[in-house]
Structures are given as C-alpha cells and as structure tokens.
Amino acid sequence: MLLGSTDRRVFCAGADLTITDAERAVISDLIYDCCEAIVSRPGPVIAVLTGAAVGGGAQLAAASDLRIASPAARLRFTGPPGLDLAVGAWLLPDLVGRGAAMDLVLTGRWVAAAEARSLGLVSRIEDDPDLAAGQIAAELAARGGGAGVKAVLAAGGLLDRLRAERQVNRAAWARRTGMAAG
C-alpha cells in the first residue's frame, strides 16, 4: 500500500486548524485507528513524503513501514499550542532512539528530509519518491510481500504504546473540550 497526498506540497499537514477542538479530537482518534491499521496489516505500507507532514500526518508517515522522501519533505511531531499531546511518542524511540524522540516530541521542531534520513526517520531521499516507492512496492510484491517480517517487527509493545498514547491524548482533548475521554 502506498500513502501520499493529492497536494504535492504536503504528505498530510495534520488536522485542519479551522475546525473546532471537538472535531479535531475526533480526527485525532481516527488517526490512531489509521496508525493501528498501518502497523497491524500484513502487507507493507510505503509513505511518499514530498512536503510537510505535521502532527497526525507525521505519525501516519512514521507508522508506515518505509518512508521515501523528496528533498523538500519535512516532518513535525506536534499538536496544537496549549494542549499537552504526545504526538509520535509511541513509535519514535524505535525509529530514532529515545534521545532524538524526546527532542522531536518535546520541542515540536521541524525536521528536514536530510536530518530525517540521518535520524532514521525516513528510509530514503529520492528526487522522484513516487517512482522509487513504486519500484520498491513491485520488488516487495515479487518477493512475497514481507508479512512475516512485518509481524515480527510489530511485536514487542509497539501497539501497546500506540494505545497508551491514544489514551493520553483522549484525556488531553477531553480536558480541553469538556468532553468525556473515550
């Protein structure tokens, strides 16, 4: 499966900042559904990043099994100001290590493609990431898809951490919106 955007300037820029907090809380929860589906589905998921991936969009990209970025790609693991969300804390330690994960999640700073590659946050940087992702997908399909490898790599608490982060963020949204956490 390939993930991308119809707008070449962004992978997924996160939730629409013009909608209500209650609507954003629902979207946040749906993003965790998508991330869980990405991690637990048998076949590999390849994300193609050509622009900004922010908040939930950065999590969708990071949850993917392979991330192919253009030189213009950039990621940011942050939520709305004033809301103490954990964005990506469930998966970043496995990708970039605990120290870098703390930096990215606590500061919410932008990570350009080159730094993302050096951290292990993206798999490759390609001038034509769509073409590269298509070639990789074809190679994986020819080799059997990698479902066994994916199952092994998803074991060991990754889904437990995803679910824990989801609960922390549900509680944060509930405090902000006055809604009960689900």
Q: How many domains does the chain have?
A: 1
Residues 124-145, mean pLDDT to the nearest whole number = 93
Domain that holds residue 83: 2-176
CATH number of the domain to which 32 belongs: 3.90.226.10
Please give the residue that has the higher pLDDT: either 178 or 101: 101
Domain assignment present for 181? no
Phi and psi at residue 141, to the nearest 5°: -65, -40
Domain assignment present for 182? no
Three-state DSSP at 24 gives helix
Q: Please check whether residue 50 is in contact with residue 113, taking contact to mean a CB–CB distance below 8 angstroms.
A: no
User: Over the stretch 140-182, which tens digit does the pLDDT of each residue have?
Assistant: 999 887 778 887 777 678 888 888 989 988 888 888 887 665 5
- Which strands, in side-by-side order, build the sheet including 46-49? 2-3, 46-49, 66-69, 124-125
Phi and psi at residue 34, to the nearest 5°: -65, -45
* Separation of alpha carbons 88 and 2, rounded Å: 20
Residue 155 is encoded by which pair of tokens? 């074991």
**Can you give the pLDDT at residue 2?**
46
In single-letter form, the type of residue at position 60 comes to: L
User: Over the stretch 54-74, which tens digit does the pLDDT of each residue have?
Assistant: 999 999 999 999 999 999 999
User: Over the stretch 9-41, which tens digit does the pLDDT of each residue have?
Assistant: 555 555 666 778 888 888 888 999 999 999 988
Contacts of 138 (CB under 8 A, 6+ apart): none
Domain assignment present for 121? yes
pLDDT score of 116 more than 90: yes
**Can you give the pLDDT at residue 15?**
60
